[in-house]
Each structure stands twice: as structure tokens, then as C-alpha cells.
Amino acid sequence: MNATFTMLEMRRITRDWAGMFFTAVLPAFFYLIFGATVSAKDASIGNGNVAMYVMISMAAYGAVTATTSIGGNAAVERQQGWGRQLGLTPLADSSYIAMKALIAMTVAAVPVVLTFTLGVLTGARGSAQAWALSAVLVLVGSSVFALYGLLIGTAFRSEAAVGAAAGTLVIFAFLGNLFIPLSGALLSFAKLTPLYGYAALARYPLTEGFLPDGSRDPLWLPIVNVLAWLAIFGALAVVLVRRGRERQ
Amino acid sequence: MTTSHSSTAGASGAPAVELRSLVKTFPPRRGSHDSEVRAVDGVDLRIEPGEVVAFLGPNGAGKTTTLDMVLGLTDPTSGSAEVFGRRPRQAVVTGSVSAVLQTGGLLRDLTVRETVRMIASTYAVSSPVDEVIDRAGLRSLADRRVSKCSGGEQQRLRFALALLPDPRLLVLDEPTAGMDVSARRDFWDTMHADASAGRTVVFATHYLEEADAFADRIVLIAGGRIVADGTTAEIRAQASGRTVSATLPPGSVAESVARLRVVDGVRDVEERGSRVVVTAADSDAVARLLLLDLGGTDLEIVTAGLEQAFMTLTGDSRDAGVVLAHDEELAR
């Protein structure tokens, strides 16, 4: 691990004010609006309350925004010639990936820490186990979306496409039951979308699978959703990266 | 086709670059019916330590692909490439080879100094960051964002990055492409100042003047093959001779062309409307014939330059794509 390299990469990210706003500030703001200030915030859900349910959802949204854009921008900058520049140095691909992963996890932790801190201050309640486990699940699960960013960046080769990919997360977040509680046919469809499993899994330590409409997901459902989307993103990324290499 | 180059340098140790039967093919484009593309089609080349060599050829001749294999950025389809007796990637890892690549490939949101620090951090041992910045003439720009630097300034930054490992072999791939004349001159001035260190330098260009002004040896590449290899003087000699042209009276052109073709030493006769253009070893004889016997007027005699040599050797005068910039006095 190369400290100078990692530190300079981190500095690039902190320079991107717009990116940091969407990653860190917006989810915290959403939590305050949809979680901390609603009348139902103290209603109990599973091992805690509604405020905590919203807090985990928003932290998850922020974390995937971070990993998607970091994964996507890494793909774009490598294809725009930075990959060739790095190919002229002793830096191994594996060290590069390790550094980018560390950075993605670090940046993803920012909205988690911010939203969870606001949660503590504004009355989110849950068991200690639920707090700890959901934080870990939000962070670890967000790495799946680094692959999503990577494949969009590889396919479309532009920073604008990566921005659009981060934008599609808003739609996935609605469908993933992150912003408003879904019900009926829309909920049934939502269970197939990429953010649903990740968010449901992150909330599982709190909800034990219970949904706002009173129904309950068995634990296998979010796990299968996450694994299926991991496989889809992974396979597409491998195909696209390979095709890009052939063309060089 | 390939003329052998007798080198004087580097009896001891491995050559700086050794290419043996190097071939690189690319699959055809998706959806096209073309067969595979042979970008590099059997290149044998040996470059000794201390040489300054120009790869000269039109766009698409295979220069960049060849250099990519020297740098370990691409693997050959067949044949081999060695740098100081090692596999290219090993030579890169140990810092014995580095390169200035074509445009692109910098992070726009870093400053010049940050970029140098970042790349420096990947080497176990590298030259001090500030020293490299000075040598590339970037001191006054060190804190400027890369996105705010001109094309020429960005190219000097790539040059600074290439100096970091203090490489024994420096590869420059079209280092001045897209620069204006003064930026190009600045770049080569910086290069000249550095060349005294006795580094081996290999650069690709499609500017004849650059090859002529900076290289000791020119390797002419066309269609993925080496078509000539030698000093500037040797290349010129291979296609020596002069071009004589004149306007002929109407109606006599065809007959005159036939007479000119059989003159001793005439290599080529071309009709351009009422003018004929004759390439010949003995220009005086041709001039005499044109003026006295054939009624020619407006006679012109031109000595073949390097560009003429290039065209003769690549066998393509119209699509050669080599930039013939007579008005550009480069680097001295």
C-alpha cells in the first residue's frame, strides 16, 4: 500500500465539492427530512424505531453513491490514458485496485458516520447489535455498487455517464424501498431491483425482515438479491473490461 | 529491404532494445468483413545503449504499437522484445525504461507537483520531485492544475514523469503531436539539454525535421515493417538524385516522355499536364535535353531532400502522410 498515492487520490475526491455534496450531505439531509422530523419517527420497528430505519436507508444511499462514482471514475480515467501512464510505473494492478477499494470504503464511510451521528442526536433508537451490524452491512454491501460504476464507466467511457449512473441510483433507491415505503405490485417488483436486497439486508438487524406495510421478507430474499446482482454486475464488468482490452 | 545498420556503440552488455521477428495483429473491427490487422509485421531491430533513434513513418505505420511492445504495455502476437536483455515489464519495474506517451493520460484535477509526487511514489527509488520539475522547466507551473496547462505544458509534465526513474532508455511516442511550432521547439530544447546524460532515446515522429534534427539514426517504418534504417545521410543517399521539371510545347509531351525514359540514369518520368517531372542521377544531361532538343521552358532543378527519400522508400508519394514542414526550423 502506497500512502502518498492514496493520500493524493483522497485529496482529489475532497476537491470534488459537488460529488461530496451528493455523497455525504444529501443523504444526511434526507434523513433529517424523512426520518428525524416526521411524526412517526418514534414508532417502533423490530428492535428499534422508524428514525433508525430511515437512517440506515439514507446511509446506504450515500454509501452506494460514493462507491458507484469511485468505481466509475476509476474505469473512465484508466481508459482515458491514465492506465497507460500507470503501466509505465512499477505499480501493480493489484495494488492499484487495493488502493481504490480502500478509498471507496473510506469515502462510503463518510455518509454512514454522518447519518448515524445525526441519528444518535435526533432520537434514532435500536439495539446495540442492530447499530453495529447495520453499519457494517451498509459499508460492506456498498462495494457491490463499485462494480456497477465500473461497468458503466467501462461501457460509456465518460465522466458524464458515471454521473448518470450515480443518478440512476435515485430510481433504484425508490424501488429499493429506501425513500418511501412501497406496497402491492410495485413492492413485489421492487424486490427484484438492485438496491432492494442491499438495503433490506442492512436493515435486517433492526427489522428482522418486517416491512412498513406489515409483511415480512425471509432472510434469504435480500441475500439472494445481493448475490444475484453481484453476479450480474461482476459478469458484465468482466466482459466489458476484456472487450476494452482487445480493442487497444 | 531492410538495410543493416552498423553500430559503433555498446560492445559490452545487452543492447538497449532488441526486437526479433516482432509481430502484432489485431482482430478485425466488430461487424466488418475485414481480415485481421497486422499492425506490426515482422520487425527486427537492435538499438545500442547511447543511440538516439527516430522511428519515422506515416500515421498507422505501426510505430506506436511497436513502442507499446518495447514498454510492455502490449504483448507481441509472435516474436520477442527485450530491453537491456530483460522482458519489457521487468525493465519498467526496475526503472531502466520510461516513456512520454501521446496526449491524454493525466488526471486533470491534480496539480503538476501532485502528479509528479503521485507517480514518484510508485518507484522504490526515484529522482527528487523538485529536481525533475526543474529539469522539465515546470517550476513556475508546479502548483497549477493539470486542466489549466496547455498541451505543450502537459507534454513537459509527461516528460518530467518519464525522468523520475532516471531511465537508461527513454521512449517518446510522437512527443510533439498537436503542439505549435514554438511549443515544439521548447520541448526539443528541453530534450537536448537532457540528452547530454548519455541516455538512449527512441522517439516516434511523423515530422521529418524532428527526425533529421534530433536523431543519429532513422528507422523508416511503413505498413508495419522497417523499410530503411540508417543515419540521415545514409537514408538520403539511398534515394539520391535530383528532380528536373520543365514545361513542354503542347502536343509534344507524350513523345518527349518516351525519349526521356531511355536516358541513362533516369529513374522516373511523370507527366503533370504540360509539365514533365524527371528524377535522375545526372540532372545536367536531362536539363540539356529538355532545353535544347525538346523545347522545354521554365526549367527547375531540385535536390532530393529527406522527404523525397522517404517517399521513394515507402513507395507512396501521395498518401505518405508525412508532414513536410519546410518552414519549420527545429531544434538546434
Instruction: Give residue-wise pLDDT tens across range B21-59.
Output: 999 998 876 666 667 888 999 999 999 998 889 998 888
The rounded mean pLDDT for chain A is 91
Q: What is the pLDDT of residue A45?
A: 87
| 8 A C-beta contact, residue B21 and residue B49 | no
3-state SS assignment for residue A177: coil
Which of B192, B215, B237 lies at the terminal end of a domain, its last residue?
B237
Residue B181 in domain: yes
pLDDT for position B86: 95
**B152 and B298, same domain (yes or no):** no
What does the pLDDT average to over A174-184? 89
Whether residues B108 and B175 fall in one domain: yes
Summarised one tens digit per residue, pLDDT across range B290-299 is 888 888 888 8
Asked if B119 and A11 come within 8 Å (Cβ–Cβ), the reply is: no
CATH code at position B160: 3.40.50.300
Q: Which of residues 7-36 of B touch A (CB under 8 A)?
A: 27
Interface test with A, best of B118, B127, B171 (most A CBs within 10 A): B118
Give the confidence band of B320 by pLDDT, cuts at 50, 70, 90: very low
Interval B102-129: pLDDT, tens: 766 899 999 999 999 999 999 999 999 9
Q: Does any CB of chain A come closer than 8 Å to the CB of residue B198?
A: no
Q: What is the 3-state secondary structure (H, E, C) of chain B?
A: CCCCCCCCCCCCCCCCEEEEEEEEEECCCCCCCCCCEEEEEEEEEEECCCCEEEEECCCCCCHHHHHHHHCCCCCCCEEEEEECCECHHHHHHCCCEEEECCCCCCCCCCEHHHHHHHHHCCCCCCCCHHHHHHHCCCHHHCCCEHHHCCHHHHHHHHHHHHHCCCCCEEEEECCCCCCCHHHHHHHHHHHHHHHCCCCEEEEEECEHHHHHHHCCEEEEEECCEEEEEECHHHHHHHCCCEEEEEECCCCCHHHHHHHHHCCCCEEEEEEECCEEEEEECCHHHHHHHHHHHCCCEEEEEEECCHHHHHHHHHCCCCCCCCECCCCCCCCC
Interface of B with A in 79-98 (CB under 8 A): 92-95, 98
Considering only CB atoms, which chain A residues are within 8 Å of B118? 4-5, 8
Identify the domain boundary among B237, B258, B281: B237
Confidence category of residue B312, pLDDT binned at 50, 70, 90: low
Same domain as B160, residue B209: yes
Q: What ranges make up the beta strands (E) of chain A?
A: 44-45, 48-49
Round to whole Å and give the CA distance between A145 and A169. 10
Split into its structural domains, chain B has a count of 2
pLDDT in tens, B59-100: 888 999 999 999 999 899 999 999 999 999 999 999 999 999
Please tell me whether residues B190 and B264 are part of one structural domain: no
In one-letter notation, the amino acid at residue B266 is: V
Shortest distance, CA B142 to any CA of chain A (angstroms)? 15
The per-residue pLDDT for range A7-16, each reduced to its tens digit, is 999 999 988 8
What's the pLDDT at B234? 77
In this prediction, residue B238 carries a pLDDT of 63
Chain B: closest CA distance from residue A142 (Å): 25
Confidence grade of residue B318 (pLDDT, cut at 50, 70, 90): very low
Interchain CB contact of B76 with A (< 8 Å): no
Specify whether B58 is located in the same domain as B170.
Answer: yes
In chain A, residues with a C-beta closer than 8 Å to the C-beta of B73 are 84, 87-88
* Confidence label for B4 from pLDDT (cuts 50, 70 and 90): very low
**Is A16's Cβ below 8 Å from some Cβ in B?**
yes
Is residue B43 domain-shared with residue B120, that is, in the same domain? yes
Question: Which range (A38-52, A198-212, A232-246, B243-257) has the least confidence?
Answer: A232-246
Using DSSP's 3-state secondary structure scheme, residue A157 falls into coil
pLDDT at B324 over 70: no
- What is the domain-level CATH number for residue B269? 3.30.70.920
Mutate to test the interface with B, among A88, A246, A247 (most CBs of B within 10 A): A88
Q: Do B169 and B287 fall within a single domain?
A: no
Contact status of B106 with chain A (Cβ, < 8 Å): yes
**What's residue B277's pLDDT?**
87
**Residue A247, φ and ψ in degrees, nearest 5:** -75, -15
pLDDT at B100: 92
Last residue within a domain, chosen from B204, B237, B270: B237
Report the complex ipTM. Answer: 0.85
Identify the domain containing residue B284 by its residue range. Answer: 241-303
Other beta carbons within 10 angstroms of residue A80's beta carbon come to: 18
Tell if the CB–CB gap between A88 and B74 is shorter than 8 Å: no
Domain check: are B150 and B283 in the same one?
no
Domain presence at residue B319? no
Model confidence over B197-231: pLDDT tens digits? 678 999 998 877 788 888 889 999 988 999 889 88
**Do A80 and B105 make contact, defined as CB atoms within 8 angstroms?**
yes
Q: How many A/B residue pairs have CB atoms within 8 Å?
A: 69
